Structure 1
Amino acid sequence: MQGTIDGFRYGAVTPVAAYLMACLGGALGLRCVVRSLHNAHSWKAGWLALGATSIGTGIWTMHFIAMLGFQVEEARIGYDVGLTVLSLAVAIVMVAVGVFTVGYRGATTGALATAGVITGLGVAAMHYLGMSALQLNGTIEYRTSTVVLSIAIAIVAATAALWAAVSIRGFLASLGASLVMGVAVSGMHYTAMAAVSVHLHGTGGAWTGDSATSLLLPMLLGPVIFLLLAGVVVMFDPLLVMGEGTWDRSFARHPVSTKPADRQPDSAFTARDAAAPRPVATNSGRQGPSSTTGRRRPR
């Protein structure tokens, strides 16, 4: 018996919420990667790790928020907790491989191709591993051609995202790239879901429970809180608060040392400016440099 699939149980609520989470994860990831590349004195590995975790968590959260709207009308749905958590780990690790590859090797053709394929396959693996966690009284089947298309979309989207991470610098440009990433990731998810069909083993009655919702909502709480905290970290980073140009002049070119002997003067003038002679007025109305003793130059 074929099950009747409804991927939009709550209408547009779950697709829109899923898209926003994908955009949030992508935006945070892009800004973290930009931050790691912009200043050689920054904690590069830490920013890359935070960026990879943000992107991976955003993709995973997008997937399972979208799955909140998935139902088979003739059967109840549950999820295996172990496989669900494992899919999150796979997403973060595979995205991290791609992010660290381009973060240290740059946006070369070879690095982007390798990292894009690995990350795209990781995103697809996260999706289908998450689908394997789905439990119901039946068998989930996939249309091969649509599965291949979804994997291709994942690879292209991952490659474009990694290119944007190391190539785009401006905040507005990063924001636009994250919106495009959200479209690509959501498109990959719903393309993959279009390949799904369910063959039921027996009639389980109409939908009467919300076991999937009661399980997924608590599990989604942690990743959502992480993304919000990561957003706070990124928003209060000087590179974003002060602007990239100000950061370059004040910090990237002249990083402030924590040693007292290496501290820069607190005033707006440098030590050289302070030591330079100051102009003084002469009888002719012109200004000239004063001597080191402060006396007026003889006429």
Structure 2
Amino acid sequence: MAGSVVTTSDGVRLRVSDTGGGGIPLILLHGWGQTAALFDGQLTGLAGARRVIAYDMRGHGLSDKPDHGYRIARLAADLRDVLDALEIEQADLLGWSMGASVTWSYLELFGSARVRSLVIVDQPAAVIAWPWTTAERSAETGAILPIEGLSRLAASIATDESGDVVQSFVRSMFSEPVEDRLWRLVSEQIRHTPVHAAVPLLIDHATQDWTDVLGRIDVPVLVIGCEGSHVGVRSQRELAARIPGALVHVFGRDAASSHFPFLEATEAFNALVDAFLCGAASTASTRVEKRGDTRSQASRPVHV
């Protein structure tokens, strides 16, 4: 697997892992406080049939950690810069957690011309339950955190020199006991993101609401949820229902019980994504014709 560095338009160096190969590449986008290292199982397991690329976002992992640019829109621009630097005309995107928000921002800012398909993994359309948000709306969109809770969490992270607050926050994303090897991986990667990056990015990420973007997505989409995650399953089904023609798959607790289904159920996750991408490839040539038909379809489950 080749490693390289892409320099963004504002001079930030991003560390990239690239399996190489031809065809339409799959780009993996990690979540807040995490890194491309969490996708090792996908970089190896999905690379047999395609080129797979993952990179550490600014402020994360082995990429630069400047004092600027910690907004979802800037991360979307960084994705554009990666596509440009690697001379990728079209790609499949897989966004997990905050990485899903980056894909939505990319589509809003730059359109879908370079995106063949999209996989969304365990990310609600909205995170913050604002004072004026009804309980029904919160359940529907996945908004699980009151603004006061976000403020307290951000303040705790900003003043905690030990890093224990972030560790505890991420550990709460596992609803069942987690294997030691998996927790070591996750907890080690968290430590790469400094407070000056973590806090403003968490605030910007959490306060976005992407529901107005969903109905205008015009590429094939697979939404993946998990019963054991802190992200409500209903929000994932509702999210898929808002996207024209989207598919949805929910991992049961017997397969995974966290916000990290790609770590806990790697083989099943990879098989699911592979099946979806093969379907996206077969329908890519008729994408324009199918837009009109799929807008009226309800989201439906996909199984492997």
Query: TM bucket by the smaller chain?
Result: under 0.3
More strand by share: 2
Report the structure, 1 or 2, having the larger helix content.
1
Higher relative contact order (Cα pairs below 8 Å, separated by 6+ residues): 1
Larger radius of gyration: 1
TM-score normalised by length of structure 1 = 0.26
Name the TM-score, length of structure 2 as normaliser: 0.26
